[in-house]
Structure 1
Amino acid sequence: MSYLRADARLIRELLPPEARPPSDADGLFLLYAVLMRAKGELVTAADVHDAWTAWMENRDPGHRALVPFDELSRATQREDEPYVQAIQAAARVRAKGAS
């Protein structure tokens, strides 16, 4: 398993129970792993949405949420928060391991 896949697995494990990612979202979590390595705890909901948008482009290019984060409803924006929390938590875990 690559380091990115390991990070993706960690992020998935750290998701709060209310998050319900699609079962076939391995590619999405790899993008989240890249975000974690690039931005660490500074990752934002807009970053998470951008990664999701890149992933969704190949799955459903007509999806209604393929718009910039600021154009989403507040309710839809909030759906990204559990992923932000998990990515930030994973970044903290990895930072402790590097010490």
Structure 2
Amino acid sequence: MSYLRADAGLIRELLPPEARPPSEADDLFLLYAVLMRAKGEQVTVADVHDAWAAWTEPRNPDHAALVPFDELSPAVQREDEPYVQAIQAAARVRAKDRP
């Protein structure tokens, strides 16, 4: 297993119970792992939305939420928050793992 897959698995494990990731989302969690490594605890809901949009676009190019984050309704914007929390928590875990 690669380091990115390990990070993706950690992020998935740290999701709050109310989060419902899409099916077949392994590649999406790889994008979240890249966000964790690039931004750490500074990751934002807009970052998470952009990663989701990059993952969704080839699968469903007509999806209604494929718009910039600030054009989403507040309810849809809140759907990204559990992923931000999980990415930030994973970043804290990985920071503790470093010598």
For residues 4 and 48 of structure 2, what CA distance do their matches in structure 1 show? Answer: 16
Query: 2:9: which partner in 1?
Result: 9
Query: Tell me, which stretches of 5 or more residues in structure 2 are unaligned?
Result: none
RMSD over aligned CA atoms reads 0.5
Identity %: 84
Shift of 1:58: 1.0
**Matching residue's letter, 2:53:** T
Runs of 4+ in 1 over 4 A off after TM superposition: none
TM-score by length of structure 2 reads 0.99
Query: 1:76: which partner in 2?
Result: 76
Local SS of the residue matching 2:64? coil
Query: 2:47: which partner in 1?
Result: 47
Aligned length: 99
Local SS of the residue matching 1:54? helix
Local SS of the residue matching 2:58? helix
1:42-95 deviation per Cα after TM superposition (whole angstroms, max 9, x unaligned): 000000000000000111000000000000000000000000000000000000
Query: Tell me, which stretches of 5 or more residues in structure 1 are unaligned?
Result: none
Shift of 1:22: 1.6
For residues 20 and 71 of structure 1, what CA distance do their matches in structure 2 show? Answer: 22
For residues 23 and 56 of structure 2, what CA distance do their matches in structure 1 show? Answer: 14
For residues 21 and 10 of structure 1, what CA distance do their matches in structure 2 show? Answer: 14
Shift of 1:23: 2.5
Query: 1:34: which partner in 2?
Result: 34
Local SS of the residue matching 1:58? coil
